[in-house]
Structure 1
Amino acid sequence: MTTQRPRRTQAERSAATRTLILDSTAECLLERGYPATTITEVQERTGLARGTVQHHFPTRADLLVAATTHVVEARLRRFRHEAELVPPELDRLQALVDLAWRDLNSPAFFTALELWVAARTEPDLRAKLMQEERRVFDEMRTVYLDVLGEPYGTDPRAATLVEFTLDILTGLSMTTMLNGHLGEREAALRRWKRALAVLAGTLPAHELLAGRPPARRR
């Protein structure tokens, strides 16, 4: 005997349609950038009628403000999952850098980057993005401190080490995105791991430059 699936309610169908629209918006932001992410482009990607898209998001501004929260949620889900996969035997400072680097090179990060740039000149988007970014950073900082564990977790320097790591690796990710110099990126990551160990007091300061290539002659 075949069991018939219960029909979805109107609310469930509406939520599924909204998710489809926002997923397509995030894909468009990543693939084509903010200027090309229009209602028409999103409507074509979803295969929905334009009226259906505009029923949920009457204007492009409404769509992109909603996409901001959607992108943040996707980034947080991926980040939590990655944090759960960190091997317990891995050095905690290295684990911090590796976790941050994976996040800052994820599709969700580069999608958010498109929104950051656009928010500079769009007040409504900027207000929403600032609200959501505070939320994402607060949660990520908590997870980073959990990943560090003891003795770092209760060390008053730990929060500063996390902040430094996020700031430095964000800049490195954006630079690598432009120039594609993967060798320089790997070298910079290794140096920052050593620098963190020095700052945390687990590596002598004179070891910081160990393995660094000689300076170029002018």
Structure 2
Amino acid sequence: MGASSPSNFKQRLTQDEKTAETRRRLLDAAIACLIDRGYANTTTSEIAERAGLSRGAQLYHFPKKEELLTNAVEHLFQLKFGEIKEKVSRLTSENDRRAMAIDMLWEVANNRLTTAWIELVVASRTDSYLQKSVSAANDRVSEFINQSFQELFPRPDGASVFYDLIPHIVCLTLEGMALEGMTLNSELTTKILDALKTFKP
């Protein structure tokens, strides 16, 4: 049979699926390594080991560390974006929607995926190959935040010209607080979260 026969087409799809799975394992391992060891101590050798793959297999799919971590940015974005979308879908039209949104965002800001994201953001300050990918991912998150905020919290009459900036101010505030980790005073954390839930826009 020719190259386009059903049997060959099925085999090609199977190989594509195997390739996708191998790449996913490497990217998942890269994210786990960023979380556990930090960007500075993340090596391609350890990523391959965590993925259960040979060094040769890792080099075949991602010949350079830069390529592997750039792809990890996109993979991490997809994971975080999927998580945020799922959590946003839980928000209802109840009166405490804002409190629920703050709690949800605070939970996201403190999870393992955000830890990996922070490592990449900090690294992008000095590693130029990461800057474009991280910036692009941030732009896409901003678009999603804008859209979700407009749908969940329609602009009230008489709202400030800065109303549309509220979700970004909230997200950046929570991310900054999460970055402080256990060093941030817990009483102050509670007061800030309560203030975000009750302030008048």
TM-score by length of 2: 0.85
Cα distance between partner residues in 1 of 2:127 and 2:157:
38
Amino acid at match of 2:149: Y
Counterpart of 1:40?
45
Cα distance between partner residues in 2 of 1:41 and 1:13:
21
| Pair 1:118 & 2:148 matched | no
| Pair 1:138 & 2:104 matched | no
Report sequence identity in percent: 25
Higher relative contact order (CA 8 A, sep 6+): 2
| Pair 1:193 & 2:189 matched | no
Amino acid at match of 1:35: A
SS in 2 for 1:97: helix
Note if contact 1:33-1:114 (Cα within 8 Å) is conserved in structure 2.
yes
Note if contact 1:68-1:115 (Cα within 8 Å) is conserved in structure 2.
yes
Note if contact 2:91-2:97 (Cα within 8 Å) is conserved in structure 1.
no
Question: How has the CA–CA distance of structure 1 residues 117 and 22 changed in structure 2, closer, same or farther, with 3 Å as cutoff?
Answer: same
Cα distance between partner residues in 2 of 1:122 and 1:187:
36
Cα distance between partner residues in 1 of 2:87 and 2:157:
19
> Which consecutive unaligned segments of at least 5 residues does structure 1 have?
1-5, 201-218
Cα distance between partner residues in 2 of 1:27 and 1:153:
46
Cα distance between partner residues in 2 of 1:107 and 1:100:
14
Counterpart of 2:112?
107
Cα distance between partner residues in 1 of 2:109 and 2:99:
15
Amino acid at match of 2:103: D
Q: CA deviation at 1:180?
A: 5.0
Amino acid at match of 1:130: S
| Pair 1:25 & 2:30 matched | yes
Counterpart of 1:215?
none
Number of residue pairs matched? 190
Cα distance between partner residues in 1 of 2:190 and 2:81:
25
Counterpart of 2:174?
169
**Match among 58, 79, 84 for residue 84 of structure 2:** 79
Counterpart of 2:64?
59
SS in 1 for 2:41: coil
Note if contact 2:108-2:114 (Cα within 8 Å) is conserved in structure 1.
yes
> Which consecutive unaligned segments of at least 5 residues does structure 2 have?
1-9
SS in 2 for 1:9: helix
Counterpart of 2:183?
179
Amino acid at match of 2:115: F
Structure holding more helix per residue? 2
Amino acid at match of 2:54: A
Note if contact 1:95-1:147 (Cα within 8 Å) is conserved in structure 2.
no
Question: How has the CA–CA distance of structure 1 residues 135 and 151 changed in structure 2, closer, same or farther, with 3 Å as cutoff?
Answer: closer
Note if contact 2:30-2:47 (Cα within 8 Å) is conserved in structure 1.
yes
